[in-house]
């Protein structure tokens, strides 16, 4: 939960992330909500029609 | 039909007692064995500004604060507007507001709450009549909430007694009068809010604590007997808690002039053989970067708790952001091994802190605990039986090693025996200079490479022994989520809801960020359908 997705970039220094990995990163100031997580997963499903990975 | 899961939000100004009210309700819920999560929010002025408290109480397992609230209490609409977007009532929420607030109710716009039940309440008038002071309006509100929403009055009353029982004569009695006045007001309302009444069976009591308190308790459990720190939101509670409890446990605490000094002080304490810790937030960790290098070079075990907040700079001091990962993992001059842990909830703050001390003592490395405001300052129920964690102490040199003592002896794990000053045969000097095995300064590039490799070798040991992570959900899933820290709670709840709809989701949550549990992560990635394809 930060603007540049520090965990995602850090992971990329360590391992080859699977194809289709998506990044969900936004600035803090408000705690991550259940609705946000659900809607992100649902939007990935509807966008691709396939199953992708989501990095929160 | 009653509910088994209720989220309440209270909003007011500093001094209105909304946080105290939330704490007493959280205690009442925990006493009855409910699962409770309470979060607070303040403006950046911290004291005297607007404040809100959101409390979720449930008879079912919960992992996150409620997204939308069932019951909203507003002491002041001006303060409410400052939390717009953060505190969102459900469409059919029950909204209790101060009847004497100068803002006309027609000016209050809450689009989401189109079917809400609006209840004007003369909080100030009720409190003044019952207790002689408007300051008790939060206690009056407790009485109203207990009566309307099925929170057993006896449990709330006990929380009130716990809070005010040690105050001067008359304070407790006045507050109990306020509590009763609130209940009587609610009984006379004649409004049906039965759909919002909490229904549950009382079970064994639970502990209720914040993440910061859990870290402080864990530090005591792990044997920490020296703490040095400089107060900074949102980590100051650790300093406050330990300033009371460390001296009672035979330890010492000092408030230093800044964070650089705090880390310097605990390096000294640990060098002297005492398990030592400091706590801070992002700006403080920045100041500690220089001393981090000393701890790593001199191989002195220290524990640093960073409760992350919004940044950079002063940023959002009262709000959460997971933005110190780069600083914790990479921030330093020179090649500097360090360990970084990331607790995921209040209970995990306890375990991460004990792990931090164990790893620090085993490896003689600085260990950073990357908590965040959403974990550190939220209050959650914890099962007492779960707060058990083995403690590992420092390996000191044996007689054979002391016969020809080498403080930085090369070993298979890179960890050398560390003597306590005063140990016969264990004398050595250390500082930030590169050194040889006997701790004498050495500036040759050969020695520098040799000793750097020794220090970094410890990370292999930690990666092997501490592959700390959580795998949520099914062993094999269609969708995989990777998250860390406080994100775990909402991800876990979202997964639960999606699983009920037939969506196959799992999550990988690393509890150690450096060294990262790569092997476990690669195995996890292979367990997710989409991860089998390559980019």
**Binary contact (A33, B490; C-beta < 8 A):** yes
pLDDT digits (tens, 9 = 90+) for B469-499: 999 999 999 899 999 999 999 999 999 999 9
**Binary contact (A19, B322; C-beta < 8 A):** no
Residue B261 has pLDDT above 70, yes or no: yes
Alpha carbons B296 and B108: distance in angstroms, whole number? 56
Alpha carbons B244 and B261: distance in angstroms, whole number? 21
How many CB contacts within 8 angstroms connect chain A with chain B? 137
* pLDDT of the residue at B146: 95
User: Percentage of chain B with pLDDT > 70?
Assistant: 98
Residue B533 has pLDDT above 60, yes or no: no
Instruction: Give me the DSSP letters along B219-266.
Output: HHHHT--EEEE---TTTHHHHHHHHHHHHHTT-EEEE-SSHHHHHHHH
Instruction: Grade residue B108 by pLDDT with cuts at 50, 70 and 90.
Output: confident
Instruction: Give me the DSSP letters along B263-302.
Output: HHHHHHHHHTT--EEEEE-HHHHHHHHHHHHHHHHHT--E
Instruction: Give me the DSSP letters along B314-373.
Output: TSBTTS-----HHHHHH-SSSS---EEE---SHHHHHHHHHHHHHHHHHHT-EEEEEEEH
Residue B531 has pLDDT above 60, yes or no: no
Residue A50 has pLDDT above 60, yes or no: no
Asked whether B226 and B267 are in contact (CB, 8 A), the reply is no
Mean pLDDT, residues B432-449 taken together: 97
Residue B532 has pLDDT above 70, yes or no: no
Alpha carbons A37 and B494: distance in angstroms, whole number? 6
Residue A52 has pLDDT above 70, yes or no: no
Poorest-confidence range of A41-55, B67-81, B345-359, B390-404? A41-55
Instruction: Give me the DSSP letters along B426-461.
Output: ------SS-B-TTS-B---HHHHHHHHHHHHHHHHH
Tell me the nearest-neighbour CA distance from A12 into chain B, angstroms.
11
Alpha carbons B427 and B287: distance in angstroms, whole number? 31
DSSP-derived 3-state class of residue B37: strand
* pLDDT of the residue at A55: 59
Instruction: Grade residue B117 by pLDDT with cuts at 50, 70 and 90.
Output: very high
Residue B534 has pLDDT above 50, yes or no: no
Q: Which residue do the tokens 């259940």 mark? A: A34
pTM check: above 0.90: yes
* pLDDT of the residue at A51: 47
pLDDT digits (tens, 9 = 90+) for B214-223: 999 999 999 9
* pLDDT of the residue at B46: 61
* pLDDT of the residue at B287: 97
Alpha carbons B449 and B452: distance in angstroms, whole number? 5
**Binary contact (A54, B531; C-beta < 8 A):** no
pLDDT digits (tens, 9 = 90+) for A6-44: 999 999 999 999 888 899 999 999 899 999 999 999 888
Alpha carbons B405 and B326: distance in angstroms, whole number? 37
Mean pLDDT, residues B177-199 taken together: 93
Tell me the nearest-neighbour CA distance from A13 into chain B, angstroms.
11
B310: which DSSP letter?
B
Residue A53 has pLDDT above 70, yes or no: no
Instruction: Grade residue A56 by pLDDT with cuts at 50, 70 and 90.
Output: low
Tell me the nearest-neighbour CA distance from A41 into chain B, angstroms.
8
Asked whether B79 and B50 are in contact (CB, 8 A), the reply is yes
Q: Of B534 and B333, which is predicted with more confidence?
A: B333
B388: which DSSP letter?
-
* pLDDT of the residue at B491: 96
Residue B386 has pLDDT above 50, yes or no: yes
Mean pLDDT, residues B91-103 taken together: 94
Of all residues in chain A, the one with the smallest CA distance to B510 is A7
Residue B105 has pLDDT above 90, yes or no: no
Chain A residues in contact with B329 by the CB 8 A cut-off are: 10
Q: How far is CA B497 from CA A30, B4, B67, in A?
A: 21, 16, 13
DSSP-derived 3-state class of residue B407: coil
Residue A54 has pLDDT above 60, yes or no: no
pLDDT digits (tens, 9 = 90+) for B303-327: 999 999 999 999 999 899 999 999 9
Could you tell me if B528 lies within 8 Å of chain A, comparing CB atoms? yes
- The chain-wide mean pLDDT, for chain B, equals 94
Could you tell me if B513 lies within 8 Å of chain A, comparing CB atoms? yes
B162: which DSSP letter?
H
Residue B367 has pLDDT above 80, yes or no: yes
Residue B535 has pLDDT above 50, yes or no: no
Alpha carbons B143 and B428: distance in angstroms, whole number? 65
């Amino acid at each position: 939960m930060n603007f540049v997705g520090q965990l995602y970039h850090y992971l990329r220094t360590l391992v080859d992330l699977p194809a289709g990995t998506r990044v969900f990163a936004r600035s803090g100031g408000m705690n991550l909500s259940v609705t946000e997580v659900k809607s992100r997963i649902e939007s990935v499903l509807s966008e691709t029609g396939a199953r992708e990975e989501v990095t929160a | 039909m009653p509910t088994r899961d209720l989220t309440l939000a209270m909003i007011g100004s500093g001094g209105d007692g909304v946080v105290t009210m939330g704490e007493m309700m959280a205690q009442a819920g925990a006493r009855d064995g409910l699962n409770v999560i309470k979060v607070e929010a303040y403006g950046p002025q911290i004291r005297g500004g607007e404040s809100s408290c959101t409390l979720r109480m449930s008879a079912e397992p919960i992992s996150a604060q409620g997204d939308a609230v069932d019951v909203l209490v507003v002491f002041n609409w001006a303060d409410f507007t400052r939390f717009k977007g953060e505190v969102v009532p459900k469409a059919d929420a029950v909204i209790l507001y101060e009847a004497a607030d100068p803002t006309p109710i027609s000016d209050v716009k809450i689009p989401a709450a189109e079917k809400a039940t609006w209840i004007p309440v003369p909080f100030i008038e009720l409190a003044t009549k019952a207790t002689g002071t408007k300051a008790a309006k939060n206690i009056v509100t407790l009485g109203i909430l207990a009566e309307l929403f099925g929170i057993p009055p006896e449990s709330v009353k006990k929380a009130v007694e716990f809070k005010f029982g040690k105050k001067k004569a008359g304070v407790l009695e006045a507050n109990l009068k306020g509590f009763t006045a609130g209940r009587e007001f609610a009984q006379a309302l004649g409004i049906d809010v039965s759909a919002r009444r909490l229904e549950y069976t009382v079970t064994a009591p639970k502990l209720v604590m914040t993440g910061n308190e859990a870290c402080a308790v864990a530090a005591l459990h792990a044997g920490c007997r020296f703490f040095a720190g400089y107060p900074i939101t949102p980590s100051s509670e650790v300093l406050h808690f330990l300033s009371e409890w460390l001296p009672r446990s035979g330890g010492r605490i000092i408030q230093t002039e800044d964070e650089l000094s705090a880390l310097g002080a605990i390096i000294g304490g640990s060098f002297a053989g005492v398990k030592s810790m400091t706590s801070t937030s992002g700006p403080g960790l920045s100041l500690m970067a220089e001393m981090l290098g000393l701890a790593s070079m001199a191989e002195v075990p220290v524990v640093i708790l960073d409760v992350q907040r919004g940044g950079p700079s002063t940023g959002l001091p009262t709000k959460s952001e997971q933005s110190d990962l780069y600083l914790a993992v990479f921030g330093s001059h020179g090649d500097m091994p360090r360990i970084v842990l990331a607790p995921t909830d209040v209970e995990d703050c306890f375990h991460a802190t004990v792990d931090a001390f164990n790893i620090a003592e085993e490896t003689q490395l600085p260990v950073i605990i990357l908590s965040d405001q959403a974990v550190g300052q939220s209050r959650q129920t914890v099962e007492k039986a779960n707060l058990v964690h083995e403690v590992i102490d420092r390996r000191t040199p044996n007689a054979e090693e002391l016969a020809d003592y080498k403080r930085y002896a090369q070993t298979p794990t890179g960890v050398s025996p560390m003597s306590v000053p005063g140990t016969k045969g264990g004398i050595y000097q250390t500082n930030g200079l590169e050194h040889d095995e006997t701790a004498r300064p050495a500036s040759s590039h050969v020695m520098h490479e040799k000793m750097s490799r020794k220090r970094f070798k410890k990370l292999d040991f930690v990666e092997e022994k501490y592959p700390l992570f959580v795998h949520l959900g099914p062993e094999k899933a269609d969708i995989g989520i990777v998250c860390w820290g406080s994100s775990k709670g909402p991800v876990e709840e979202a997964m639960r809801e999606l699983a009920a709809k037939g969506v196959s989701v799992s999550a990988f949550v690393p509890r150690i960020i450096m060294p990262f549990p790569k092997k476990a992560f690669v195995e996890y990635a292979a367990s997710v359908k989409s991860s089998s394809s390559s980019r």
